[in-house]
Amino acid sequence: MERTGAPEWRVTWRQVGDTVRGTVVQVGDRYRVTLDVELAGDAGRALTRTIALADTVTAFAWAVRFPVRSVTPDPHFTVLHWTPDLAREARGIAPYTRATLLEQNGAFAEAYVAFLAALDSVPEPDAVGLRFLLEHGLGRMYVRDERWIEATTHLVAALGSPSPRMDMLPWTYYRLALAARNLADTMLLCDQARALAPPCVRP
């Protein structure tokens, strides 16, 4: 916990007869860590073995009495580590992360610039919801600055983005409702209430 980064490893393996042989390669920095490794086959058959990693490459050979379909290190994620999916997502949302760090450090002018600049280069398709995050981040900043019209514009854009982030949607709706209340926009308030808990009767 006193180091930056996190372990990342790749596994190669093959089965010959009743033996599975392979290697675990630590990508980047080396860590000392003991992992469970799950060897899974058909019909729910599985076997768990333990391996201690310290070097860049660690070999293993285990007796297994069924055909193995997959070999998964740390299947229950008990050790903090990168996975291919996590690494891909982290790279994909890096512009949002950079802008948010500027915001959290009080560099608000730079954060606005970073959010807006990143909006001009959102990839298509947007598999990680970057556009949602950027619009949400701008809406959050405009709410903080009580710039309600701009906040509404970006929060509505976040809700309309093709890949919304389910974990952040409640905050998006909350901030949009806050902006609508401060703008005395009862129609917008009703639209958001109807989206969350229909029906809502418009005035």
CATH no. of 9-82: 2.60.40
- Phi/psi of residue 194, each to 5°? -70, -35
Residue boundaries of the structural domains of the chain: 9-82, 88-195
What pLDDT sits at residue 184?
Answer: 83
What pLDDT sits at residue 5?
Answer: 82
- Of 1.25.40.10, 3.90.280.10, 1.10.760.10, 3.90.1720.10, which CATH number belongs to 88-195? 1.25.40.10
pTM over 0.85: no
Digit-by-digit pLDDT tens for the chain (203 residues) are: 677 888 999 999 999 999 999 999 999 889 999 999 999 999 999 999 999 999 999 999 999 999 999 999 999 999 999 888 888 899 999 999 999 999 999 999 999 999 999 999 999 899 899 999 999 999 999 999 999 999 999 999 999 998 899 999 999 999 998 998 898 876 766 665 555 544 444 44
